[in-house]
């Protein structure tokens, strides 16, 4: 007769290679944190499909983020880590011809002022001079040509907050 003992490494390997959903019932996970990726100031950070689901920590001062080609369900949360200082930050689609674009809006917590994508060509999101640490954009690919984008800004300064535009 053999032993029923299975080592932790074997269980871990089996779980990592599981190719189906798990029904957890009333089970919970604790001690989890979201994966992050830094987007430093004055640099261009190109995201990949492997970054989907991550929180992207965007430094102020000319940080630029380029999104990958959208695959339905791909998602990113991009958070500004400090207040605007000298240059706006941008998030761009993988193309600059308007064939991949943002649909959605920006909401301001300070007032009713917000910005709306034109839903057919806006391929840039800009964090302007009124943005503060914690302002963020939630992105979800809803088709192979559209990123659903909802952002939240703490200020109500219209064009100086989070805005959608064409490249």
Q: How many residues does the chain have?
A: 167
For residue 95, the enclosing domain spans 34-165
Whether 128 contacts 159, CB under 8 Å: yes
Instruction: Give kind and range of the element (H or E) at residue 10.
Output: helix 8-16
Cα 129 to Cα 46, 66, 80, 88, 135, distances in angstroms: 23, 20, 12, 6, 12
Residue 119 inside a domain? The answer is: yes
Report yes or no on 63 lying in a domain: yes
Neighbour count for residue 44 (Cβ, 10 Å): 13
Q: What is the pLDDT of residues 118-147, one digit of tens each?
A: 888 999 999 999 899 999 999 999 999 999
**Is 9 part of a structural domain of the chain?**
no
Angstrom distance (rounded) from CA 24 to CA 120: 41
Check whether 12 has a pLDDT greater than 70: yes
Q: What is the domain count for the chain?
A: 1
Q: Report the mean per-residue pLDDT for the chain.
A: 89
Q: Is residue 83 part of a domain?
A: yes
Quote helix, strand, coil % in the chain, to nearest 5.
Answer: 10, 35, 55
DSSP 3-state assignment of 50?
A: helix
Report, as an integer, the average pLDDT of 76-95. 95
Q: What is the pLDDT of residue 118?
A: 87
Within a domain: residue 13? no
User: Is 61 contained in some domain?
Assistant: yes
Residue 24 lies in a domain: no
**Model confidence at 1: pLDDT above 60:** no
pLDDT in tens, 40-75: 999 999 999 999 999 999 999 999 999 999 999 999
> Considering the domain boundaries, does residue 138 fall inside one?
yes
Pairing of strands 114-116, 75-80: unpaired
């Amino acid at each position: 007769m053999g032993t029923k003992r299975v080592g932790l490494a074997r269980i871990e390997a089996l779980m990592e290679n599981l190719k189906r959903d798990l029904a957890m019932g009333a089970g919970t996970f604790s001690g989890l944190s979201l994966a992050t990726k830094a987007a430093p100031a004055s640099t261009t950070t190109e995201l990949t499909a492997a970054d989907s689901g991550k929180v992207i920590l965007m430094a102020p001062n000319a940080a630029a983020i380029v999104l990958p080609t959208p695959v339905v369900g791909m998602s990113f949360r991009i958070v500004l880590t400090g207040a605007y200082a000298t240059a706006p930050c941008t998030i761009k689609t993988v193309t600059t011809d308007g064939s991949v674009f943002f649909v959605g809006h920006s909401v301001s917590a300070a007032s009713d002022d917000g910005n709306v994508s034109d839903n057919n060509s806006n391929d840039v999101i800009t964090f302007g001079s009124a943005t503060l640490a914690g302002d963020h954009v939630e992105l979800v690919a809803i088709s192979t040509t559209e990123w659903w984008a909802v952002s939240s800004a703490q200020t109500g300064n219209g064009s100086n907050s989070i805005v959608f535009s064409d490249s």
